[in-house]
Amino acid sequence: MNFQYSDDHIAIRDAAREFAENEIVSSAVERDKTGEFPTEIVQKLGELGFMGMMVSPEWGGAGLDTVCYVLAIEEISKIDASVGVIMSVNNSLVCWVIETFGSDEQKERFLRPLATGQKLGAYCLSEPGVGSDATQQATTATLQSDGSYLINGAKNWITNGTKADHYIVFAQTDPAKKHHGITAFLIDKGMPGFEVGLKEDKLGIRSSDTCSLGFTDVRVTADRILGTVGQGFKIAMETLNGGRIGIAAQALGIASGAMDKAVRYSFERYAFGKPINQLQTIQFKLADMQVKIEAARMLILRAARNKDAHESYIKEAAMAKLYASKIAMEVATEAIQVHGGYGYVREYLVERALRDAKITEIYEGTSEIQHIVIARQLLKEYEAS
């Protein structure tokens, strides 16, 4: 497989890197402390086309491929994984869904402002008491005599939850059909009965926005159904397959950023009369960290290229997320070790990489779920051969 970057890939990567260094780095540490949402940064990302990267220009997007997308996510996440996940959710979990399953009217009404950065989106699948088993949706959407639906229930762990304008909400429209009775709806902030909870105080990605949502007789009309009635679970799973590529790229960015800091510090810190990067034990650590980063990058690029080629990428995306999130934790831990005691304090920044990395093993499918996805796909391939 050819992993050589095109001129467009290089240009997008460099543009994202420049933006991160010029627009994000100066406020990243303070926002991590305060939890402040990067509103102006997100607006600028939208103006540059980074909030609808894979959306067709017909609907206001940049019309770029998945490889461009993961390169941009990595560069942004090297500097601030909070901004990386905001960008990832809007691109992978919201814009992609509406473009793939929405009507032209929905694309004009919802997708265009999301892709251009005028609006922000959120994806609402997780529920209290229902973690990895997304088939058990307790939120209901009850059909009314006028053809509308009343939505009741709650969602939690919603990224962009307090700041989003549009929400994709999954609800049970026919409990007798179990997961085949789940439907996806487009809901706006401010609709009667729709309540946005308080922002969660998180371990990492603290500048991103995460909260719970409540729905009490929220009335939605049939023109807000994404796809068809009962297609919601299929939509949710297909969305997460692609979303995992973005989270893998976020994890890679966290690892790459930690690696950069460790290497730079290894030139500055002296021990036994020489820079610590002249000590074999440090060299071995740096070598292992780099091997893991490059291996993760190859898995991510393979999944991205499969998606762009319209080939199967379910297993590849799961492998990329599983491994990239694992090595993000490992590389961040070793980066702290290279820094010694300094790595344990905020001033040297690598401790934030470890806090940010942990969530990549949890959201958009835990590492345990990725093992299941990979195994099932692997067995299917053997059965078909």
Tell me which of 364, 368, 381, 383 is the catalytic residue: 364
Q: Is 225 left (phi over 0), alpha (psi -120 to 50) or beta?
A: beta
Residue 140 has pLDDT above 80, yes or no: yes
User: Across residues 212-228, what is the average pLDDT?
Assistant: 98
The confidence band for 1, taking pLDDT boundaries of 50, 70 and 90, is low
Backbone phi, then psi, for 117, in 5-degree steps?
A: 85, 5
Amino acid identity of residue 368, one-letter, is E
To the nearest 10°, the Cα dihedral for 320, 322, 324, 327? -150
Q: Which tens digit of pLDDT belongs to each residue from 265-320?
A: 999 999 999 999 999 999 999 999 999 999 999 999 999 999 999 999 999 999 99
| Lowest pLDDT segment from 246-250, 317-321, 346-350, 363-367 | 346-350
**List of residues 6+ apart from 61 with CB closer than 8 A:** 49, 52, 53, 54, 55, 95, 99, 115, 116
* pLDDT attached to residue 317: 98
CATH architecture of 7-119: Orthogonal Bundle (1.10)
Q: Class of the 122-230 domain?
A: mainly beta
Residue 68 has pLDDT above 80, yes or no: yes
* pLDDT attached to residue 3: 75
* pLDDT attached to residue 131: 75
Q: Class of the 234-384 domain?
A: mainly alpha
Question: pLDDT over 70 for what percent of the chain?
Answer: 99
Q: Which tens digit of pLDDT belongs to each residue from 82-135?
A: 999 999 999 999 999 999 999 999 999 999 999 999 999 999 999 998 777 889
Q: How confident is the prediction for the chain on average, in pLDDT?
A: 97
- Answer yes or no: are the C-beta atoms of 198 and 164 closer than 8 Å: no
The distance in angstroms from the start CA to the end CA of the chain is: 22
Is 364 among the catalytic positions? yes
User: Across residues 233-254, what is the average pLDDT?
Assistant: 97
Q: Give residue limits of the domains in the chain.
A: 7-119, 122-230, 234-384
